[in-house]
Amino acid sequence: PAGALYGGLPRQAAEELSLQPQRSEEAKAFVSGFLKRSMPKMKDEAIQDVLSRKAVILEHYAKKRKKQRRKKTKSFTAKQRREMRLFEIEPEQQRYAIFLPLHELWKQYIRDLCYGLKPDAQPQMVQAKLLKADLHGAIVTVTKSKCPSYVGIKGIILQEFKHIFKIITKEDKLKVVPKLNNVFSLEIDGFISYIYGSKFQLRASERSAKKFKLKGTIDL
């Protein structure tokens, strides 16, 4: 059986390959070690028995990698965000002119969203898109309200939360306007859309999956 497994290279071939021929004991030791590594579950006697009767299929045992548990990233709680003042706009930043470029970006975003906002665009389609769009940068006006002091407030939406809009006016005043019991209008390229705040009490990220009725009412 040993002769069938390995043998010495011819002298001429060994010289061409610049190999030093191994002695028979070294060759046997190498083959024995190689077979043990390739068939670790078998004993020496079993290996010899298999070699004497049939061909051997060598196996490769890959080490199992331990699955690394992904660490869950902890987000800040609402209380922590308030304490860190993450959503507060510094007084020196509360200037209307600073956010006009944001409004221009918003208009381009809406035009792209509404396939160019062509004059023959269906108002219902524009309204449906606007109700689900990101409103940061939009200029809105409070047109109706249960609280008369809110009527007429107009400015750029800087922040939208579930129940309120934060709006910067042309007078550089930051207004916090509740959505509840207020109707807002916004205009872009001749299209005027109305937002009924009482039906709009969602976070901006939640509105994309919300189904809105295009006509709303409000008790004033």
Fold of 94-209: SH3 type barrels. (2.30.30)
Q: How many CA atoms lie within 13 A of 120 on its CB side?
A: 0
Tokens of 78: 């609402």
What is the pLDDT at residue 43?
75
Q: Is the pLDDT score of 6 beyond 60?
A: no
Q: Which of 27-41, 55-69, 140-154 has the lowest mean pLDDT?
A: 55-69
H helix and E strand count, the chain: 7, 6
What is the pLDDT at residue 1?
43
**CA angle 218–219–220, rounded 5-degree value:** 110
What is the pLDDT at residue 4?
47
Beta-bridge partner residues of 178: 164
Q: Is the pLDDT score of 191 beyond 60?
A: yes
Q: Are 180 and 198 in contact (CB under 8 A)?
A: yes
Q: What are the pLDDT digits (tens) for 62-97?
A: 667 777 777 777 777 767 766 776 778 888 999 999
| 50-68 burial: b if 16+ Cβ within 10 Å, else e | ebeeeeeeeeeeeeeeeee
From residue 131, give the alpha-carbon distance in Å to each of 84, 97, 108, 195. Answer: 31, 26, 16, 7
Most confident range (mean pLDDT) of 64-68, 95-99, 113-117, 204-208 is: 95-99
Closest CA to 167 of 60, 94, 77, 90: 94
**H-run or E-run covering 155:** strand 154-160
Residue with the bigger pLDDT between 185 and 38: it is 185
Residue with the bigger pLDDT between 210 and 140: it is 140
* Other CB atoms within 10 A of residue 74 CB: 6
Q: What are the pLDDT digits (tens) for 145-157?
A: 999 999 999 999 9
